[in-house]
A and B are shown apart, each in its own frame.
Chain A
Amino acid sequence: MHEFALEMMDITKVFPGVKALDKVNFNVKKGEVHALVGENGAGKSTLMKILDGVYSSYDGEIRINGEKVLLRDTNDAKKNGISLIFQEFNLIPSLSVAENIYLGRLESNKLGVLNWKRIKESAADLFQALGFNISADAIVENLSIAEKQMVEIAKALSINARIIIMDEPTAALTQSEILKLFKIIRELKCKGVTIIYISHRLEEIFEITDTTTVLRDGQIIDTVKTCNTSKAEIIEKMVGRSIDREFPVCQKEIGETILEVKDLIRKDVLKEINFNLRAGEILGISGLVGSGRTELARTIFGADAVDSGELKIKNKVVRIYSTLQGKKNSVALVPEDRKDQGLVVNFSVLLNMTICNLKKVTFKNLILNKRKEKLVCGEYIKKLGVKTPSMQQKCINLSGGNQQKIVLAKWLFADADILILDEPTRGIDVGAKFEIYLLMHEMVKTGKSIIMISSELPEVIGMSDRILVMSEGKVKGCFEKKDINPELIMKAAIG
């Protein structure tokens, strides 16, 4: 018998402009629960997607039970006994539990008529063997999240999965459901199933896993026996890197409060958010994906409706119920999803540049002044250093950094004073990142204010004057520049 259930050797995966994984060696022993931890963007998802056959092009070798395998698609992964349980389930809500489990391989007789009795029986048998208390007839959409997860696990086992990857399995579970899940994991372990457990919640890792691997910037930092390490040590390994010189220095003055957020509530998403923002300030918002950061940004901008609470901009209470209102109150949102929300990528640089403030390039608000439009566009291309062959170039043909500059430019042209930047440097290479940071400094020097949401701790720490940490829709802490340290933020974010 081979010692390792899974060996991933020298795995390298390059996306345009970003090296997501760099010679990663990830080995998992048979029958163990192996934790994979790291910040957002460290490469965990990429590594697991390679294992699940989602990304078929990569460098390196994968062995299962010591045998080299090729994982070209998810079917290959399934054949090799690998099953990935995503944060969002792959179940069809309107179908029954039994149908979901055997979807795609429903048993039928020679005439093609399905044998429902057999299908239901085998689902029921499966649940009994696992000790799950779910009816095979239940419709998936009526199940709780924990139950849906059990269905996913049963589905994985029904195709003889020997390696199950769980991505943030406890994210939406209550405490008692988590205990139930752990019981199931231990039983699976006894049956010899290998589990890769991805979670941000470190205490869980100490409770359930045998080995922990820390991934950072696409590289394996360390693989240790979980019982031989500590929470503090893992956090240090997750974030520990030198953060000087990655960010420009800025001399500026911070002025009066420009935005006040009071008891902002959006049902199920934001819970009594309070904070303020001063002129010339960069306020960083840190927190895990799903902590309500993006939702907060969208609510202030007016892209999502607010349930209750008060917004004060320049000492005036405002009601922002649409993006137009947001714009009129000089709030801008540079969205995380640049290609689908920030720009119309199939349109030219010129068209995208002026769309937020068309009035300014018209005769009497009625007729477009195309000469002025071109002048404006040229001016902003120069000002922000956008590298494009011409104004007529379609944005889709530009690099991520240049696209981001255009999104920033269009809001500068719209005279926004409060800029909310959601992951402003995601998918942008190092050089362009620095340029974006410089632009941010330019903006705050002229008295504008920035709220920067980022998953990259060093970026938040390097750029912000203050940092707000969010978790589960709440503000979990607010740190002044002098008090900022990565461990503190990580602790607040993990809750």
Chain B
Amino acid sequence: MIKSENIAGSMDRFFISKIRYIFQNYAVALVLIAIVILVSLYSHSFLTIQNFDNILKQISVIGILSCGMTLVIISGGIDLSVGSIVSLAGVIVINQVNTMGVLPAIIVTLGTGALLGAISGLILAKIKGRLGEAFIITFGMMSVIASLTMIYSGGIFQQGSGTGLFGKIGLGVAPVIIFIVIIVITQFLLTNTPLGRVIYFLGGNIEATSMSGINVSFYRVMVFTLNGITAAAAAIVLTSRVGAASPAAGTGYELDAIAAVVVGGVSLSGGRGSMINTVLGVVVMGVLGNALNIMNISSYPQNIIKGIIIILAVGIDIWNKNRQWKV
């Protein structure tokens, strides 16, 4: 008898600690479940396959963007210029598809994204900047790239030349598949490669990483380069889906991506988080937006709700961290 009580007690403790773990790391998953339950009670059109198909397509672009942003944030940085990269990459790809063909156009576009990311990374590495510097430098890059886009496009909406092969990238489930592939690649990179390991260390403590004989500058440039590439990839999907490119298409996307990553539970102070967090964050923000639309809440109150959720997410992150530090 006594023995079985002991086992029951330890099982209780095991579950309590498990639940606490889930709460700390995946609180947002619970938020997601809550939203789904509440909204499906309110509206019958919410919990339908068609609606979820909709949501998935809507979140793909921000999702792809968030994958690269996850790497940057885990490495202890941030990149505000990705929205501008989306705009520039969009007008580049649509023009180049018209002149040089689909595959070369995609390569050139991804290369442009890589280059722009590398520039931010290089500046940051050279000045040995931290999160604060990353904010300001990429803020500067954001402005520079936005202006380049205007100059390159003449400020005019760029029309594509109709359907063809390029149009298929943004068609049907293709964006979702691209999103999933990029998720798998970045997650593998993070957990199974030396590069991924160093990304965590950069965010954990850049000084200690450097003192471990690691060329931190090289890795910082790498992270921002990868982020530039995913931004360009997001632009390609977006442009293909729309069939045209506005020189301001990506405006504000950087904030959506950062919000998704942070809401998912990736720590803004670096060193913690994974693609699971990011995917959760992207889905929650997507489902939330969709749910608010279904409930006929107009976009201004929607933004207030989103803002509050982002602030809460950062608050929870800091609270978690402080608890850990206390040990």
Question: When the two chains form their complex, are residues B212 and A356 in contact, meaning their CB atoms are under 8 A apart?
Answer: yes
How far is A370 from B193 in the complex, measured between Cα atoms in Å?
10
Beyond A323-B214, A341-B207, A365-B194, 7 additional pairs, beta carbon < 8 A: A323-B213, A351-B201, A355-B197, A356-B212, A358-B198, A368-B191, A368-B193
Using CB atoms, name the residue of chain A closest to B204.
Answer: A344
17 contacts between A and B (CB under 8 A): A322-B215, A323-B215, A335-B211, A340-B207, A340-B208, A341-B208, A344-B204, A344-B271, A346-B324, A347-B204, A356-B214, A358-B194, A366-B193, A368-B191, A368-B192, A368-B193, A410-B212
CB distance from A377 to the nearest CB of B (A): 13
CB distance from A51 to the nearest CB of B (A): 28
CB distance from B40 to the nearest CB of A (A): 39
Q: Which residues of B contact A322 (CB under 8 A)?
A: 215
Tell me whether B327 is interfacial, beta carbon within 8 Å: yes
The 3 closest A-B pairs by CB, nearest first: A327-B213, A344-B204, A358-B194
Question: When the two chains form their complex, are residues A359 and B200 in contact, meaning their CB atoms are under 8 A apart?
Answer: no
Residues of A448-466 whose CB lies within 8 A of B: none
Question: When the two chains form their complex, are residues B193 and A397 in contact, meaning their CB atoms are under 8 A apart?
Answer: no
Question: When the two chains form their complex, are residues A342 and B200 in contact, meaning their CB atoms are under 8 A apart?
Answer: no
Question: When the two chains form their complex, are residues B271 and A326 in contact, meaning their CB atoms are under 8 A apart?
Answer: no
Tell me whether A362 is interfacial, beta carbon within 8 Å: yes
Instruction: Please report B residues at the A interface, Cβ cutoff 8 Å.
Output: 191-194, 197-198, 200-201, 204-205, 207-215, 271, 324, 327
Q: Which residues of A contact B205 (CB under 8 A)?
A: 340, 343-346
Question: When the two chains form their complex, are residues A367 and B210 in contact, meaning their CB atoms are under 8 A apart?
Answer: no
CB distance from B71 to the nearest CB of A (A): 16
Tell me whether A409 is interfacial, beta carbon within 8 Å: no
Asked whether A324 and B204 contact (CB < 8 A) given A358-B194, A368-B192, the answer is no
Tell me whether A84 is interfacial, beta carbon within 8 Å: no
Tell me whether A414 is interfacial, beta carbon within 8 Å: yes
Tell me whether A54 is interfacial, beta carbon within 8 Å: no
Q: Which residues of A contact B209 (CB under 8 A)?
A: 344, 355
Q: Which of B197, B213, B324 contacts A351 (CB 8 A)?
A: B197
Q: Contact string, A326-370, partner B, CB cutoff 8 A, digits 1/0?
A: 111000110100001111111100010001101100100111101
Tell me whether A146 is interfacial, beta carbon within 8 Å: no
Tell me whether A443 is interfacial, beta carbon within 8 Å: no
Q: Which of B193, B211, B324 contacts A323 (CB 8 A)?
A: B211
Question: When the two chains form their complex, are residues A346 and B204 in contact, meaning their CB atoms are under 8 A apart?
Answer: yes
In this complex, how many residues of chain A approach chain B with their Cβ under 8 Å: the count is 33
Question: When the two chains form their complex, are residues A414 and B211 in contact, meaning their CB atoms are under 8 A apart?
Answer: no
Q: Which residues of A contact B271 (CB under 8 A)?
A: 344, 346-347
Tell me whether A396 is interfacial, beta carbon within 8 Å: yes
How far is A322 from B216 in the complex, measured between Cα atoms in Å?
10
CB distance from B275 to the nearest CB of A (A): 16
Q: Which residues of B contact A343 (CB under 8 A)?
A: 205, 208
How far is A332 from B214 in the complex, measured between Cα atoms in Å?
12
Q: Which of B192, B213, B327 contacts A367 (CB 8 A)?
A: B192
How far is A456 from B301 in the complex, measured between Cα atoms in Å?
65
Tell me whether A106 is interfacial, beta carbon within 8 Å: no
Question: When the two chains form their complex, are residues B210 and A323 in contact, meaning their CB atoms are under 8 A apart?
Answer: yes
Tell me whether A303 is interfacial, beta carbon within 8 Å: yes
Using CB atoms, name the residue of chain A closest to B217.
Answer: A322
Using CB atoms, name the residue of chain A closest to B196.
Answer: A368
Asked whether A324 and B215 contact (CB < 8 A) given A351-B200, A355-B209, A358-B194, the answer is yes
Using CB atoms, name the residue of chain B closest to A327.
Answer: B213
How far is A335 from B209 in the complex, measured between Cα atoms in Å?
12
CB distance from B197 to the nearest CB of A (A): 6
Using CB atoms, name the residue of chain B closest to A302.
Answer: B213
Q: Which of A303, A345, A397, A414 contacts B210 (CB 8 A)?
A: A303
CB distance from B272 to the nearest CB of A (A): 8
How far is A344 from B203 in the complex, measured between Cα atoms in Å?
10
CB distance from A340 to the nearest CB of B (A): 6
Q: Which residues of B contact A326 (CB under 8 A)?
A: 213
Q: Which residues of B contact A346 (CB under 8 A)?
A: 204-205, 271, 324
Q: Contact string, A73-92, partner B, CB cutoff 8 A, digits 1/0?
A: 00000000000000000000
CB distance from A209 to the nearest CB of B (A): 40
Using CB atoms, name the residue of chain B closest to A343.
Answer: B208
